[in-house]
Amino acid sequence: MNPEKEKWVLLALLSIIWGSSFILIKKSLEHFNPYEVGALRVLIAGIILLPIAAMNIRKFPKKNVKWLILAAITGNFIPMFLFPIAETEVSSSIAGIINSMMPIFVIIVGALLWKFQTTKRQIIGVFISFSGACILAFSGGEGGEFKLIPILLLLLATLLYAISTTTVKSKLSDIPAKILSAFVFSFVLILPSLIALVLAGFFNDLKADNNLLIGLGFVSLLSVFGTGLAMMLNYRLLSVSTPLFASTVTLLMPIVAIIWGLLDGEKLTLMQGFGGLIILAGLIFLRQMPSKQK
């Protein structure tokens, strides 16, 4: 498959997989606390990918270890806890909408850390989308309650995703996606996630019953598809496209997240829907090229 067609196929697959992650987080939270969900998500992915990492241990260049650790912590560890914590206060649909601001952070991080070029149009798009995030933050939920803290947690997670994405593109793009994913989750994150699981009290509260099995089922789906497989696809997408194009998967993810949320009985207020549309409008604006450039 040629790179141009491949990147669009990868974009569609990632939109479906990652867009479904928010409802899986919500369902997992019915059985575990947010810290257990985050730790289990990373740990299961690490155990599954460990054989791949072990077989390719000599293929990873030692000079890139520091960039591997940075990408792992910012993209595959801290956000895995921030999203469940935030989703104890906001719906999975809102989490999906906020996550759509990732292209904005890719532009900001890329310009500040990696000297990516930023256009005036992109800056305007950033401000439009930021205003939409403010509307979401101050609109409250169905009961009108103030939801600033979880919105800020979601924005922080999205910022960390952007740092990881631009780091991978700038420093790790020559490493095959499967091997990179295996090293991230196995050699870097298995031990921290296991420690987090112990500190979260998972083993103290462990009871072998149907509730545990159902919860593990949701977390396993989230881990295998929404984490392990999705990161392989994402790293491959970064190798055949740009960080900004790869981040536009977040434009489609809210559609999937909202559909799942509505099917699960969630409701969006008029103000929240308006804020989400403003975010998407800003993202579409910054993605469009002027007619002369086209």
| Residues 6 or more apart whose Cβ sits within 8 Å of residue 49 | 181, 182, 185, 186, 228
Q: What percent of the chain has pLDDT over 90?
A: 38
Runs of H (alpha helix) within 172-229: 177-182, 190-199, 210-223
| Cβ neighbour number for residue 213 with a 10 Å cutoff | 10
Domain residue limits, the chain: 3-102+149-262
Higher pLDDT, 150 or 139: 150
Kindly indicate the confidence band of residue 90, based on its pLDDT and cuts at 50, 70 and 90. Answer: confident
Q: Please state, in angstroms and rounded to a whole number, the distance separating the CA atoms of residues 255 and 259.
A: 6
Cβ–Cβ under 8 Å, residues 283 and 99: no
268 burial type by CB count under 10 A (0-12 exposed, 13-18 middle, 19+ buried):
buried
The single-letter DSSP state of residue 58 is G
Cβ–Cβ under 8 Å, residues 71 and 249: no
Q: Answer yes or no: is pLDDT of 246 > 90.
A: no
What pLDDT does residue 218 have? 95
Q: Answer yes or no: is pLDDT of 244 > 80.
A: no
Q: Answer yes or no: is pLDDT of 158 > 60.
A: yes
Q: Please state, in angstroms and rounded to a whole number, the distance separating the CA atoms of residues 65 and 165.
A: 16
Query: What is the mean pLDDT of the segment spanning 106-133?
Result: 78
Q: Please state, in angstroms and rounded to a whole number, the distance separating the CA atoms of residues 174 and 156.
A: 28
Runs of H (alpha helix) within 205-269: 210-223, 230-240, 243-247, 249-263
Predicted confidence (pLDDT) per residue in 17-53, tens digit: 998 999 999 999 999 999 999 999 999 999 999 999 8
Cβ–Cβ under 8 Å, residues 190 and 129: no
Query: What is the mean pLDDT of the segment spanning 199-220?
Result: 86
Q: Answer yes or no: is pLDDT of 293 > 90.
A: no
| Residues 6 or more apart whose Cβ sits within 8 Å of residue 108 | 126, 162
Q: Answer yes or no: is pLDDT of 201 > 50.
A: yes
What pLDDT does residue 137 have? 62
Q: What is the mean pLDDT of the chain?
A: 85
Kindly indicate the confidence band of residue 160, based on its pLDDT and cuts at 50, 70 and 90. Answer: very high
